[in-house]
Structure 1
Amino acid sequence: MMPVLPIQSSATTEECLHLGKLVVLTGPSGVGKGTLMRSLLERHPELYYSVSVTTRSPRPGEIDGKSYYFISGSKFEQLVAEDEFLEWAEFAGNYYGTPRETVLNQINSGKLVVLEIELEGARQIRASFPSALSVFILPPSFDELEKRIRSRAQDSEEAIARRLIRAHEEIQAADEFDIQIVNDDFETALNEIEAVLFK
């Protein structure tokens, strides 16, 4: 069950961001942003990672409430109608969203909050929270990205084709974001993210 925590202040959403900090990490499917985020959280347990809500099925090893909150499409649509999401988007036939009140509560308490979300959601955050820091993770090349997506062996050929078309569109949007980091060497990319967060 997705926790919804009350905001402990009458501050507006944008005012909350002056107390804590919101960082958005995005990039195309297969670029390695999830792996980077996991390593970042292991190194820095003081970060608050906002667990997204999704309608897709869990992948092997994923835990409900830790990897994602896995819910039905009808429940997701109900939460959208109730304005429970800070941002939400449809990707590869599934919905993804960020719980609003939980994130604002953490920012209001002074935490550094990190989101790992898709491009459409990241654009929503940039529009409503201009003070949020946005980081776009790029692959070293499109061929390498395709290789990574195929190596996961989790998608049909049709799903892979959809992801690659979407990835090409997303990479074109990299310049919209404050910082671009190429995930060629994993350790280098992780160090660059740390430098951005803790400079």
Structure 2
Amino acid sequence: MPTGVALRDAREQLFDAAERVLLREGPSALTSRAVTTEAGCAKGVLHRHFADFDAFLADLVRDRIARLDDQAAALRDSAGTGTVADNLTDVLTALFGSVAVAIVGLVTSRDELRARLRRTTPTGIPLLTEAAAAIASYLTAERERGRVAADADVDTLAPMLIGAVHMLFADRKGTPPESGAVRKVVDAVITGIGR
């Protein structure tokens, strides 16, 4: 492996490489060597930017959580437009069509990573907890606009949506579900909350 090659935004290149390995081969294949090989850099590059591999993984997960902020804002901004079911279907399909399912597998398979992430996400599964909060916020905005019933328990509905749709996408090697399958789950979960 060549050394001395300057990397532009090494952290992001390493994160992207880790994501590719994770998606292609799963959590068990994610090692510092696999990441640096995928990124095309020397192993020392990773250790220059991170205290250890679990610190790297924790920052990777936090980075992917931070990316949810834009999706959450867009979802909140969509309140009052389209249909509630369509908006939820779109955001859940995008969430689980990304690296989220693989990240969940990574977090659940590494005790030290989970321990580090507990500092910022004390309950639930990191990434899914933040996604549920984004959905609850969106449903609250829709409730304020009168498109969701005033008595709808959005703090229960949001994790129900996350859990049910996650089950559709959980087979990392299989074909991802069609949008219609996601919509069917969304419809089942939110039945009765609309106005």
TM-score, structure 2 normalization: 0.29
Structure holding more strand per residue: 1
TM-score, structure 1 normalization: 0.28
Which of the pair has more CA radius of gyration? 2
Greater relative CO (CA pairs within 8 A, separation 6+): 1
